[in-house]
Chain A
């Protein structure tokens, strides 16, 4: 090994080769984990109230129970509108499934949460009417729509996002 540099005039720092493998390993680790950023900031300064995590279970259970028993008064007109929005959502999913050429993911393997979330968070520039025009009606059966259950949470989310004033909704209901 020592003959490799015997006849030239280059010199290397003391212990260079002994330290080389450690430097190399450190470099490889760094590349694997991405660029480094000072550890000085690791403590973000956020804290939580005392016993917060110990009581979380109970509060989640209470909230879940409370949501189960919550009742929202709805005017039938609103139900039609929600049904129309649901139909639009179903159509978007149906069309996207039909148009896709890749093997995965398919409709069956997608969880309902993923579908809802996609529809919720992607800007789909179609109005309900435009979606209806895209619909090949002969392939849709009335039960495809009627059998879609709209859960209470969906209705609440819809109202939360579209109704400025819930009281106004109750007024419309009372007037009729």
Chain B
């Protein structure tokens, strides 16, 4: 795999930019897709947000200073794009965030790109009522198996705070799943 620093340099030069961007998309498309999908839940929305994420990366690469890792920066853009997308969606539908989350999970039952069983659907319901930060941390730690240090760099939070958030998220999910 091409080194991050090399890739960034190639992305900043006009003659190598197109090829480097292709490499960038190939390298990160799947992990960013799943990160986004777990936030927006629906495939078509995830596809839109993923494309916007890559376009923003492409447009802003000159402003990338290398203070964080490239993938952390891209994850951050993907996270922000996903959250902005949800804000915009709730505004358009005239509902608040909680109502939107409820609708999103309800829609999963009829979603052709969701094959989860009853338990997985229940877990999605449980995740949907977590506070935003706990939801992000849970998804990144549990599903994406990122290290706390990596999550801290992406979300620009402390490792201690993240551990606390993850712990609280799990307690809430366990309680929710025990119900009924």
Instruction: Name A's B-contacting residues (CB within 8 A).
Output: 34-35, 37, 40-49, 52-53, 56-57, 59-60, 63-64, 67, 105, 109-113, 117, 120-121, 153, 160-161
Please name 22 pairs of A and B residues whose Cβ atoms are closer than 8 Å in the assembled complex, sorted by A: A34-B141, A34-B170, A37-B170, A41-B120, A44-B120, A44-B123, A45-B121, A45-B124, A46-B114, A47-B115, A53-B30, A57-B29, A59-B51, A105-B67, A111-B65, A111-B73, A112-B63, A113-B56, A113-B60, A121-B83, A121-B84, A160-B88
B84 close to A41 (CB less than 8 A): no
| 14 new A-B contacts at CB < 8 Å, known A113-B60, A121-B83 | A34-B170, A42-B142, A43-B120, A44-B116, A45-B114, A45-B120, A47-B115, A57-B25, A105-B67, A111-B60, A112-B63, A113-B56, A117-B80, A121-B84
Choose among A46, A64, A121, A153 the residue that contacts B80 (Cβ–Cβ < 8 A).
A121
In the complex, whether B43 has a CB less than 8 A from a CB of chain A is: yes
- In the complex formed, the residue of B with least CB distance to A117 is B80
Give 7 nearest A-B pairs by CB, closest first. A45-B116, A111-B63, A112-B63, A45-B120, A113-B60, A60-B54, A34-B166
User: Which residues of B lie under 8 Å from residue A153 when comparing CB positions?
Assistant: 59
Main secondary structure of the interface of B (DSSP, over half): helix
- In the complex formed, the residue of B with least CB distance to A32 is B148
- In the complex formed, the residue of A with least CB distance to B42 is A46
